[in-house]
Chains A and B, each alone.
Chain A
């Protein structure tokens, strides 16, 4: 049985979420139907919405269910951009997820957006002074600011409230990509929206719910143009028959976040064991992200192994029965050198030698120890293979 240490990619569905999902799929009724079976479906849907809203600290009316995190991010960014026309500027930090980067680049190419990339510091945190400077340049022409609340690769938490405060001074809406943070750090959308956050994106499968459903928490004070047009469901913001069963399963996973503090303490201890063990097994390793436990995701450990391809390590650990990630996006099965590390000012060599290990509910000390046992041999081989496939004429 493979040991799964890639919970940031997706985490196993909770058994109770699977049960609820299967049961709800057996219930007939479109929540938009007027008859009693439709009303029953609507009741299940709205109960689910309330529970998801509770996990986000927002009102149920502010929860817009989407087909996943990517759709939520697209709706948040494109929807705010279009609603704010004719403003053109979008401020976005380097090192965002591709769902954000590719969306703003699309707006740049097709919709006249002017995208301004903001720098990250050496631990991957947004540089607030640079944010303030960019805003000051021409605040009236800024359509929106979007940023991660926790970096999905290196795990560094972002000063979202501070960014929102800078933006709020000029009435600029902020979209927050909380997909990586959700389920790992508390989210208080009420407080964030008071501070100036207009919308916040999450995904169910990162917290033990099903793939294929996410949500945009959309402040009742904010306006977005919809991406999809049709039946006008969900306050006209997101047309399409609502997936009651997925929402129900999502809600079960959201409810399970009640034990977040205790689980975080356990996961943080596992991560500490992992980081200490890896550093001792491979002294040359670089631990990326903010070293302060208060400032990074509890279960995310991100390393650079200088002189190795992250790909090689991933392969060798996989063969040893341990699933990890390079953390960066794949193009046709090939991992790109981490754009997050590059945005943090790291060299291409460090970016190529990246490995992300993410812990979750199902992991134990034995899993961490299995990785630590397999790593030295894998590292020796990966170091021998080196970066040879990049360098001609070896």
Chain B
């Protein structure tokens, strides 16, 4: 129970469904803020109190479990390291993968609980053989199946999402108000919970000291300098501060960030189109496909709020020393990678992002993108 409206309603619904329910708030910071501010919706003492007040009204016991050390190691430090390596990490996904449905779930099972229920908007379907499938929520606008794409069959078997079938967030808020929860109108949380003022760039700059480096075009010509490569995101246009215009007068975009050489590669918008993405760190959500080595049709989604696009996916062997080997896969011991080819080129894709693969509404699996292949140049991007 984060102290938000979703988990409060989820807990109440679990009680009404006849479960024996205990409210657990995760302490994720050793030094939590006292009062919630701005876009935050969790992690402060006030949020913890909000969660406890909701538990009081529901009539369930409430405890705070301290995962601050694991959260720092598995989520915050990982976020910093990924960023320093020029990738674009998703800390919420990492938190689901390693904290909420790993550390928390494992501790809960050890202590005698059967499952962890959360206020995520997603649906778990049990097939005829008793296997769990993760599906999108009924309310597609609030659907959170993307950030749950890392869950495995075993984790799904011990997870419950009581809000998955709710038609809209408005209904959840109305239900919260009817139940007398003080958080019925609490704003949704956005951004990253451990960055108090929402200034992700500033927060990262304090932890990954930026150094001046070159801005290059695709042919390796120096166009200007930057104050730190890691601060740039693939697809970014603003803030490049290149004095001379491009030959064709069109704006330039960040195509690639190379943290090791501390360089930023820029080029025309067309060069952002990605025709192929691949990654060695992939997992199946629920039952794995019988023959993933045979190309199969699917939909791929590359951001939490992006639209899914039709694609063909396939697991292929990884040959050492091949162009497919990347800084992320090298030394990882991986022998295969998941290759996804969208039907139309994608834009705004960067290494470190997660590609979630769907079959209709079902989440089939996910992979962390190690490399992308541009639709206009044959050069693969490897962070």
B333–chain A nearest beta-carbon distance, Å: 15
Whether the Cβ atoms of A334 and B110 lie closer than 8 Å is no
Residues in chain B within 8 A of chain A (CB atoms): 22, 25, 27, 32, 45, 48, 52, 61, 63-70, 73-74, 98, 103-104, 106-107, 110-112
CB neighbours of B65 from chain A (8 A): 311, 389
Whether the Cβ atoms of B25 and A312 lie closer than 8 Å is no
Q: A312-B111, A391-B70 are in contact. Are A333 and B103 (CB under 8 A)?
A: no
CB neighbours of A393 from chain B (8 A): 74
A228 at the interface (CB under 8 A from B): no
Whether the Cβ atoms of B111 and A382 lie closer than 8 Å is yes
Q: A311-B65, A381-B112, A390-B69 are in contact. Are A333 and B107 (CB under 8 A)?
A: no
Expressed in whole angstroms, the Cα–Cα distance for A254 and B68 within the complex equals 43
One digit per residue, 1 when the CB lies within 8 angstroms of any chain B CB and 0 when it does not, for chain A 360-394 equals 00000000000000000000011011101111111
Whether the Cβ atoms of B73 and A392 lie closer than 8 Å is yes
A315 at the interface (CB under 8 A from B): yes
Residue of B nearest to A313 (CB): B111
Q: A389-B70, A392-B73, A392-B98 are in contact. Are A333 and B63 (CB under 8 A)?
A: yes
CB neighbours of B74 from chain A (8 A): 392-393
Q: A332-B48, A333-B25 are in contact. Are A381 and B64 (CB under 8 A)?
A: no
Expressed in whole angstroms, the Cα–Cα distance for A334 and B25 within the complex equals 10
Whether the Cβ atoms of B48 and A381 lie closer than 8 Å is no
Whether the Cβ atoms of A311 and B111 lie closer than 8 Å is no
Expressed in whole angstroms, the Cα–Cα distance for A391 and B112 within the complex equals 20
Q: A319-B61, A334-B27, A392-B98 are in contact. Are A381 and B110 (CB under 8 A)?
A: yes
A-B contact pairs, 12 of them (CB 8 A): A316-B112, A319-B61, A332-B45, A381-B112, A384-B110, A384-B111, A385-B106, A389-B67, A389-B70, A389-B103, A390-B69, A392-B70
Total inter-chain residue pairs, C-beta < 8 Å: 61
| Residues in A302-329 with C-beta less than 8 Å from chain B | 311-312, 315-316, 318-319
Whether the Cβ atoms of B32 and A318 lie closer than 8 Å is no
CB neighbours of B103 from chain A (8 A): 388-389, 394
Residue of A nearest to B77 (CB): A392
| Residues in A142-180 with C-beta less than 8 Å from chain B | none
A315–chain B nearest beta-carbon distance, Å: 6
Whether the Cβ atoms of A316 and B66 lie closer than 8 Å is no
Expressed in whole angstroms, the Cα–Cα distance for A201 and B196 within the complex equals 40
What bracket does the count of chain A residues touching chain B fall in?
20 to 34
Whether the Cβ atoms of A333 and B98 lie closer than 8 Å is no
Residue of B nearest to A385 (CB): B110
CB neighbours of B67 from chain A (8 A): 389
Task: Identify which of A318, A319, A333, A384 contacts B64 (C-beta below 8 A).
Answer: A333
Whether the Cβ atoms of A316 and B70 lie closer than 8 Å is no
B97–chain A nearest beta-carbon distance, Å: 11
CB neighbours of B68 from chain A (8 A): 334
Residue of A nearest to B27 (CB): A334
CB neighbours of A388 from chain B (8 A): 103, 106-107, 110
CB neighbours of B27 from chain A (8 A): 332-334
A74–chain B nearest beta-carbon distance, Å: 21
Whether the Cβ atoms of B98 and A311 lie closer than 8 Å is no
CB neighbours of A382 from chain B (8 A): 111
Residue of A nearest to B63 (CB): A315
A86–chain B nearest beta-carbon distance, Å: 35
CB neighbours of A390 from chain B (8 A): 69-70
Q: A312-B111, A334-B27, A382-B111 are in contact. Are A394 and B63 (CB under 8 A)?
A: no
CB neighbours of B104 from chain A (8 A): 389
A173–chain B nearest beta-carbon distance, Å: 35
| Residues in A192-222 with C-beta less than 8 Å from chain B | none
Expressed in whole angstroms, the Cα–Cα distance for A100 and B215 within the complex equals 57
A6–chain B nearest beta-carbon distance, Å: 15
Residue of A nearest to B66 (CB): A334
List of 4 A-B pairs having minimum Cβ-Cβ separation, nearest first = A333-B64, A385-B110, A384-B110, A334-B66
CB neighbours of B22 from chain A (8 A): 319
Expressed in whole angstroms, the Cα–Cα distance for A385 and B25 within the complex equals 17
CB neighbours of A316 from chain B (8 A): 111-112
Q: A318-B61, A334-B27 are in contact. Are A389 and B66 (CB under 8 A)?
A: yes
CB neighbours of A312 from chain B (8 A): 107, 111
Expressed in whole angstroms, the Cα–Cα distance for A318 and B67 within the complex equals 20
Residue of B nearest to A330 (CB): B64
CB neighbours of B73 from chain A (8 A): 392
Expressed in whole angstroms, the Cα–Cα distance for A158 and B66 within the complex equals 33
B329–chain A nearest beta-carbon distance, Å: 19
Task: Identify which of A335, A385, A392 contacts B111 (C-beta below 8 A).
Answer: A385
Whether the Cβ atoms of A394 and B106 lie closer than 8 Å is yes
Whether the Cβ atoms of A334 and B64 lie closer than 8 Å is yes
Expressed in whole angstroms, the Cα–Cα distance for A386 and B69 within the complex equals 15
Whether the Cβ atoms of B111 and A315 lie closer than 8 Å is yes
A338–chain B nearest beta-carbon distance, Å: 14
Expressed in whole angstroms, the Cα–Cα distance for A394 and B25 within the complex equals 21
Residue of A nearest to B73 (CB): A392
Given A312-B111, A381-B111, A389-B70: 5 more A-B contacts, CB < 8 Å: A319-B61, A333-B27, A381-B110, A385-B111, A389-B103
Most B CB contacts (10 A, CB to CB) among A382, A391, A392 go to A392
B74–chain A nearest beta-carbon distance, Å: 5
Expressed in whole angstroms, the Cα–Cα distance for A385 and B104 within the complex equals 10
B171–chain A nearest beta-carbon distance, Å: 30
A69–chain B nearest beta-carbon distance, Å: 23
Expressed in whole angstroms, the Cα–Cα distance for A382 and B65 within the complex equals 13
A225–chain B nearest beta-carbon distance, Å: 30
Residue of B nearest to A386 (CB): B110
Residue of B nearest to A335 (CB): B66
A334–chain B nearest beta-carbon distance, Å: 4
Q: A332-B32, A334-B64 are in contact. Are A385 and B107 (CB under 8 A)?
A: yes
CB neighbours of B69 from chain A (8 A): 389-390
B72–chain A nearest beta-carbon distance, Å: 9
Expressed in whole angstroms, the Cα–Cα distance for A334 and B107 within the complex equals 16
Whether the Cβ atoms of A332 and B70 lie closer than 8 Å is no
Residue of B nearest to A392 (CB): B73
CB neighbours of A381 from chain B (8 A): 110-112
Q: A332-B45, A333-B25 are in contact. Are A311 and B66 (CB under 8 A)?
A: yes
CB neighbours of A335 from chain B (8 A): 66
